[in-house]
Structure 1
Amino acid sequence: IISRVRQRRVAERIQVTDQEVKNFLASDLGKLQMSEEFHLANILIPTPESASSDAVQAAAKQAEDLYRQLKQGADFGQMAIARSGSDTALEGGDMGWRKAAQLPPPFDRMLSEMPVGDVTPPVRT
């Protein structure tokens, strides 16, 4: 009861101005809090940094083949389990929820324009 009384008395004295709200929304923390969230999954085709151009081309071909199968309706989770080199492969590639502000710039723009449930073309990172 004492805690509730204190909260009410404090809450009565707090006034947040429109300018303070605008400042918060313009801040990095505000942008992070208000950014879109995406539930992401990935399929990783690993290539070593010192991979030959043939190995990179083979990985790109494999990624394009996977993309084509996914666009034709293949189950993403099963494809991730069978073919991904990611740490999340056994969970069907599930990476969980991420805020757009936490993603690298090419990904946040790409994802914000996609419909729910769609698959991006392969991206080399």
Structure 2
Amino acid sequence: MREFRLSIEDSDDDAALLRDLYEAIRDDYELTGVRTSLVPASVPEGKMGAEEILRLVLDHSSVDLAVCGVISAWIAARRARRLKLIVRSDGTAELEINGDNKPAADEIVRLMRAAQENSRDETAGQ
């Protein structure tokens, strides 16, 4: 079982985009085995309001590419000129999306793996 936490920053409406991404993943029939939820996030200093993160729990690696395909398609359909997708799995990896920079599913897979690797690196350094 692997858990990922996704958040969106630097867009015109981070909260609305995150809810839209949550619905896209939740509603995809190929991802019925993926547990999704929106959970409260700590609000960074200097920001107002309640922020949320999208929590994904993947029981099998066989759904990795399907999840990443949905995320990639969701990003491609966005009209947002700018947003930052942040993936955490105890480590952090970020992907900045500006204008026409639309990542493919394999790029999202690398991002999720990088979040896991960063977690392992941080644990090893302790």
TM-score scaled by length of structure 2:
0.28
Instruction: Give the number of the structure whose residues are more often strand, by fraction.
Output: 2
Instruction: Give the number of the structure whose residues are more often helix, by fraction.
Output: 1
TM-score scaled by length of structure 1:
0.29
